[in-house]
Amino acid sequence: MGPGRARMRIDDDNILIGGSAHPAAAEDPSTRGHRPMHSIKRLLQASIFVITISAATQPSAQPALSAEEIMQKVDFATRKAFKTQIAHVKITTCRYKMVAGAVKCSEKPRSVIAENAKKVKLDGDLYSDRQLSIVREPASDKGTGLLVYEYGERGRDNDNWLYLPALGKVNRVIANDDEGGSVFGSEFSVETTENPEARKFHEYTYKLLEDTKFQGRNAWMIELTPTAEKARKTKYGKVVVWIDKESFITLKEDLYRGGRIHKQRTQSGIRRVDGIYVSTKVVMNNMSASRVSQMDKMSMRHDVEIDDEYLTQRSLTDFAFRERNLARFRTELSQSKGK
């Protein structure tokens, strides 16, 4: 071995300390295997001291979360971490074909820019919310509005109203769990198993499948199965979700019908806005129809003031009232920044 090179092995007569070799103390061959009692005591005491220090410096193991506990945290992060939310979003939709393993639009994409407002109410564990989305672009659809009321009572269906300026009246939207309720003709829905922001915790059972990674993030894979009551209202047999371990935001969902993936939802661009974790890009892929929608959340704010009256049918038909509120929201959104 050349001079100065660290020894890389330990043998009977040399102890490696810090990469340097030091000769072991000489031992009388006649006493080998018969150490004095005081030496044995010192060795035992040293061993106990090392073990104690090692145990004290190890981080305490966190108890593993059950699937139900994880999904309760997801429910909070997705639906209950804020009182209000306003957002400026762009939804782009097209039919597609696969080209070299990538999704490519096979027609001219249709884009809608909308202004959203949402207000959450918590009464103990009872969750309800009101949401209003107003189309800003294209000009041909400007003023189209979708108003949704979600109720916390078990068994009570949500209310949905759609306003089309060309007709000049408000129509109630009757949407079952899987069909109808499309957000402005896209693959996104307001009131279905497909929408984690509208999914009610008590309507599913949960099974933890594995720890994994997705989009380079540590995640849990969990299977959601509709309860017997929910199963009567949905064609989906199960939903497999990937949950980010840091933010408890959903990263991916496979929605199964008839044992096959019918739709797939992915969420990315996770960051904090006003201290709340959000995903800023959502893709919903209808694999049965080869149709895809992408939602880009261009700006967002949380816990800004929203007048209760704004989240009523008045905002669908009263242009001046609606614009006064939207002007204030636009000012708030101009100050949007992640933090």
pTM summary value: 0.79
CA-based nearest residue to 283, from 296, 297, 269, 294 = 294
Whether the link from the prior residue into 138 is cis, omega within 30° of 0, is: yes
What DSSP assignment string belongs to 325-336?
A: HHHHHHHHHHT-
Q: What is the pLDDT of residue 194?
A: 87
Long-range residue pairs from 263-270, CB within 8 A, at least 24 positions apart, any chain? 263/187, 263/194, 263/287, 263/288, 265/194, 265/196, 268/215, 269/297, 270/217, 270/244
Q: What is the pLDDT of residue 2?
A: 46
Amino acid 244 reads: D
Q: In the chain, what are the domain boundaries?
A: 67-334
234-279: pLDDT as tens digits: 889 999 999 999 999 999 999 999 999 999 999 999 999 999 999 9
Amino acid 2 reads: G
| Angle subtended at Cα 114 by Cα 111 and Cα 120, rounded to the nearest 5 degrees | 140
Classify strands 217-226 and 204-214 as parallel, antiparallel or unpaired.
Answer: antiparallel
Q: Find out if CATH 3.40.50.980 is the number for domain 67-334.
A: no
162-217: pLDDT as tens digits: 999 999 999 998 765 555 568 899 999 876 788 888 899 999 999 999 999 999 99
Say if CB 299 and CB 280 are below 8 A apart: no
Q: What is the pLDDT of residue 29?
A: 42
More confident residue, 12 or 230: 230
Q: What is the pLDDT of residue 251?
A: 98
Beta strands, E only, the chain: 14-17, 20-23, 84-99, 102-105, 110-123, 126-137, 145-150, 159-164, 169-172, 204-214, 217-226, 238-244, 250-257, 260-273, 276-286, 291-302
Q: What is the pLDDT of residue 4?
A: 45
Is 161's pLDDT higher than 80? yes
274-310: pLDDT as tens digits: 999 999 999 999 999 999 999 999 999 999 999 999 9
Q: What is the pLDDT of residue 157?
A: 83
CA-based nearest residue to 129, from 83, 171, 181, 87 = 83
94-151: pLDDT as tens digits: 999 999 989 999 999 999 999 999 999 999 888 999 999 999 999 999 999 999 999 9
Distance between CA atoms of residues 241 and 204, nearest Å? 13
Q: Read off the pLDDT of each residue in 316-333 and give the average, rounded to a whole number.
A: 97
Select, from the ranges 193-202, 224-233, 316-325, the one with the highest average predicted confidence (pLDDT): 316-325
46-74: pLDDT as tens digits: 554 444 444 445 545 557 999 999 999 99
Coil, strand or helix: which one is 232? coil
